Amino acid sequence: MPSVDIVIPCYNQGGFLPDSVGSVLGQQVDDLRILIVDNASTDGSAEVARQLASGDGRIELLLRSTNQGPHASFNAGVDWARSDYFLILCADDILAPGCLARAVNALQRHKEASFAFGGQLIWEADAPCPAMASANDDASCSVVGAEEFVGIFSLPHRPVGTGSILVRTTAQKQAGHYRPELYYTDDLEMLMRLAALGGAVRIDAIQGVRRRHGANISAANWGNWQRELREVWAAYASFFAHEGSALPWGPPLERKIRTNVANRAYWSAVSHRMRGLKAESVELMAFSRSLDPAATIIPPFAYWLRVENVGAFVTRRLREILAQRKPAHPRGPRDGSVPQKA
């Protein structure tokens, strides 16, 4: 069985750390190492990490005395890795049962691919852990070419479990370190770099569980589509300014993706306007115009031809709009007060 290295960066996630580590130790991988990198937590995470390491010799520790930022933890893990495969798992997330064996088998079958990915579930704060199917090594998989994968994030897409992606360590070493200037979308940009080295394997199974709570790094983007799309474009701009610029399909794909993101921002602006969110709509339209001025002159209807399962996507968005526009109390509050705008 190939060897696997797992890096678990941690900052003030001591309460979640045992679940994260436990989900790794429960995988069907004989040759396994775990490195917990604590970034000078103030909640006792380091002591939790020590206790976990004292009970299992496969766990190593890197306990920092000063907070060096998340990218220092990611990059320390990249430098530490020496096994056949490598994965970064945030301390508040968990791996799905059997996911490592599925990913290893997929990469063993598809030697050209740089990494394997699947779907993810969201675990909302204070809710029970979502139910997951039992381990299944026979999940179907398919190869996704580099050009196709790089374009995934520019359009609405099936969930990509970015926190449970298994990478060939040789590919990770070649791709290098995470770029600290990309605070929110550093993982997306890294996946583009890895994809450019050999494509990917999509596994038709849930590979990880992302725990969503108020302290997530990405929490500032939740529900803020203008910021979300700006951060996604920042990842693309970084990739195409570096590794992507040398690829034969890089420049034409960059133009296509620029149009996709601009069109996505345009229709998001329309959606926000329909919900009465005028300020957000104006910001989104301005961002769309900054990427593609033509999009705000002629409505980009062709965008919908590029959206996967467009009927289901539009229906879902219309339901969300109607739900937001429908008054919570059609006849007014029982106490006679004036309802406030959301």
Residue 51 within any structural domain of the chain: yes
The verdict on residue 332 lying in a domain is no
The per-residue pLDDT string of the chain (342 residues; one tens digit each, 9 = 90 and over) reads: 799 999 999 999 999 999 999 999 999 899 999 999 999 999 999 999 999 999 999 999 999 999 999 999 999 999 999 999 999 999 999 999 999 999 999 999 999 999 999 999 998 878 888 888 766 666 899 999 999 999 999 999 888 988 899 999 999 999 999 999 998 999 999 999 999 999 999 999 999 999 987 655 554 455 688 899 999 999 999 999 999 999 999 999 999 999 999 999 999 999 899 889 999 999 999 999 999 998 778 899 999 888 888 776 667 666 656 665 554 444 333 333 333 322
| Neighbour-count burial of 242, counting CB atoms closer than 10 A to its CB (0-12 exposed, 13-18 middle, 19+ buried) | middle
**Three-class DSSP category at 128:** coil
- Say if residue 209 is in the same domain as residue 257: no
CA nearest to 26, candidates 100, 110, 92: 100
User: Do residues 102 and 207 both lie within one domain?
Assistant: yes
Q: What is the pLDDT of residue 159?
A: 81
Round to whole Å and give the CA distance between 90 and 11.
Answer: 9
- Tell which residue, 275, 273, 297, has the closest CA to residue 284: 273
Q: Are residues 201 and 153 in the same domain?
A: yes
CATH of the domain at 144: 3.90.550.10
Count of domains in the chain? 2
DSSP state of 198: T
**Shortest CA distance to 272 belongs to which of 260, 287, 258, 290?**
287
Q: How far apart are CA 135 and CA 108, in angstroms?
A: 18
Collapsing DSSP to helix, strand or coil, 114 comes out as coil
| Angle, vertex CA 148, rays to CA 147 and CA 151, nearest 5 | 90
**Residue 335 is assigned to a structural domain of this protein:** no
What pLDDT, on a 0 to 100 scale, did the predictor assign at position 329? 43
Is residue 338 domain-resident? no
Of residues 83, 108, 100, the one with CA closest to residue 166: 100
Q: Is residue 336 part of a domain?
A: no
133 and 173 assigned to the same domain: yes
Q: Strand, helix or coil at 86?
A: strand
Can you tell me whether residue 202 is helix, strand or coil?
Answer: strand
Beta bridge partners of 95: 208
Domain of 54? 4-215
Residue that is last in its domain, among 198, 215, 232: 215
Report the length, in residues, of the chain: 342
Say yes or no: 276 and 167 in one domain. no
pLDDT at residue number 134: 66
Question: Do residues 232 and 210 both lie within one domain?
Answer: no
The last residue of a domain, from among 164, 189, 215:
215
Q: Does any domain span residue 269?
A: yes
**How many CA atoms does the CB half-sphere of 143 hold within 13 Å?**
12
- Say how far apart CA 94 and CA 24 lie, in whole Å: 8
Residue 244 is inside which H or E element, if any?
Answer: none
**26 and 71 both lie in a single domain:** yes
Kindly state whether residues 24 and 120 are assigned to the same domain. Answer: yes
75 shares its domain with 153: yes
Domain stop point among 152, 181, 215:
215
Q: Degrees (nearest 5) of the Cα angle 179, 258, 75?
A: 10
Residue 190 lies in a domain: yes
Judge whether 340 lies within some domain: no
Residues 203 and 124 in one domain: yes
Residues facing 124 on adjacent strands: 212
